[in-house]
Amino acid sequence: MAEQQSKRRKGIEFRAATWMVRHPGWLALPTGLPTSAALFGVDTTAGVGGVALAAGAAVCTGWYRGHPDSFDRFAAPVLRAWRRRWWTYMGWRWRNAVEDCGLTTENRRTGEVRRPRILRVRSWTPTTDVITVKMVPGQAVSTWEQQLPVLTEALKAVRLGVAKVKPRVINLVIQRSEPFTEVIPAPEMPGDVREVDLDRVYVGETEYGTDLTVSLTGDHVFIAGATGAGKNSIPASMLRGIAPLVRDGVVRLWIADPKQLEFSALAPVAYKYATSTETDVEDGAYTIADLIKEFRKEMEAKQAAMSAAGLRSITPSRETPLDLLILDELGAITAYGDIMRLVRRDLAVIATQGRATLSRMWGLVQEPTKDTVPIRDLFTFKVCLRVTASGQVDMVLGDNARARGALADEIPNIPAETAGIGFVMDQRTRVPIRVRAAYVTDAELAEFVRFVSPGHPGASLKVVA
């Protein structure tokens, strides 16, 4: 027989006691002060309390003024989270928000309204909060995804994202204002190959104040964005981060550049460089189709050598370099003209078989539709900068990415202020993360070319694989 449930609600005194147990800090003050006054006297309690408050304020002020880095890293997030927990997301504000947005359920027996409960508030930066919420029975992550637009307005936020933590527990990522109000400067170029970590190549910053990095040994990179969105800053930043490896032949650049603008500056230092998308060339010019086909042959030659040697992986070196295929304006290569019939299969093979042989692709595109880029799902790391249609967000980042909070189509079209701002997906939680790529000027790109060109003072440094 099923266990019988009462139709009566739990008494208010027991609900209050439960709340106190969950929030013991609020119980300490009203009980501690009278107890101290009874044991030690009112004057002693007031004096000790005043001295403690003054000392705490002095320590915090001194820490805040004397060492901003450590204060902002350790103290500020705790203080900010506490303030927002009990002010921005305090009881009645949260209660009204979830009730107005239809995120409550009712116990049919007792009539009790069950509300989602805030378990924890974290505030990594002044602009972004992460709230851990325990859902009520009858809800799922999809329930919250559907209500994100109205909940965003109810909480007076700019953007909300949602991710499942465990059964009945979710994280709400709340962006309260734009985290990227300043241009991120280009990364410094390491002077030696020993300073380069190919598994963590710097690209820019995330909304949590951490570095945005990409694994060059593990990922094919897909970058989508409208004109002026700042696509070229992403590969330019990564190239500066691996400059010593390019200089010493450990990384070889294969560049397909049909637009012949930003990447044309890299032609002198590229291992292979092509611009023509034509297929019927009478003068024997080296075309993009030729470059891609040769790249595939190089990959297959590595596969054969590894098979003969019984190797499953190789380490980047002069003898076994990491080959990097950069495809600017990928749509012009895979969607338009006769070239698409020649290169689609080659690119698909490279994307699916290039991991072990250190054969990597970076693709940049304005229109990320399946017709334009049929191989887009084969890229393992995707960045969606400002796009012109809401549907393009899911095309780049995957199903329901926009519903989870990747509002790339709402990034203002002001290149001077928003270039490089976009979204990536957290690989573990599948929640969108707002990011900004570092900005690399033409002069800084020219500096990279000079650094990796033969004859540079550091060109004779020993390669450490």
- Are both 437 and 322 inside the same structural domain? yes
- Are both 274 and 387 inside the same structural domain? yes
- Are both 201 and 171 inside the same structural domain? no
* Closest C-alpha among 86, 166, 89, 106 to residue 134: 166
Rounded to two decimals, the pTM is: 0.83
Domain count, the chain: 2
Please, which residues have CB within 8 angstroms of residue 189's CB and are 6 or more apart in sequence?
240, 241, 243, 244, 447, 448, 451
Mean pLDDT of the chain: 86
Instruction: Tell me, yes or no, whether 210 lies in a domain.
Output: yes
CATH number of the domain enclosing 301: 3.40.50.300
Burial of 321 (0-12, 13-18, 19+ CB in 10 A): buried
Domain membership of residue 156 as a residue range: 68-177
Residue 90 phi, psi (nearest 5): -65, 170
- Are both 244 and 352 inside the same structural domain? yes
Find the range with the poorest average confidence among 76-90, 121-135, 224-238: 76-90
Q: What angle do CA 193, 189, 217 make, to 5 degrees?
A: 55
Q: Kindly list the distances between the CA atom of residue 170 and the CA atoms of 5, 60, 83, 122, 431, in Å, as whole numbers in the listed order.
A: 28, 33, 21, 13, 11
- Are both 138 and 247 inside the same structural domain? no
Please, which residues have CB within 8 angstroms of residue 387's CB and are 6 or more apart in sequence?
224, 225, 226, 229, 368, 393, 396, 408, 409
What are 443-458's pLDDT values in tens digits? Answer: 999 999 999 997 654 4
Instruction: Tell me, yes or no, whether 50 lies in a domain.
Output: no
- Are both 170 and 302 inside the same structural domain? no
Q: Which is higher by pLDDT, 265 or 427?
A: 265
By residue count, the chain amounts to 465
- Are both 294 and 169 inside the same structural domain? no
- Are both 319 and 425 inside the same structural domain? yes
- Are both 162 and 206 inside the same structural domain? no
Please, which pLDDT band fits residue 297 given cuts at 50, 70 and 90? very high
CATH number of the domain enclosing 142: 3.30.980
Q: Are strands 117-125 and 128-134 parallel, antiparallel or unpaired?
A: antiparallel
- Are both 241 and 163 inside the same structural domain? no
- Are both 172 and 223 inside the same structural domain? no
What are 83-128's pLDDT values in tens digits? Answer: 888 888 888 899 999 999 999 998 877 778 889 999 999 998 899 9
Please, which pLDDT band fits residue 463 given cuts at 50, 70 and 90? very low
**Per-residue pLDDT at 464:** 31
**Per-residue pLDDT at 465:** 27
- Are both 127 and 94 inside the same structural domain? yes
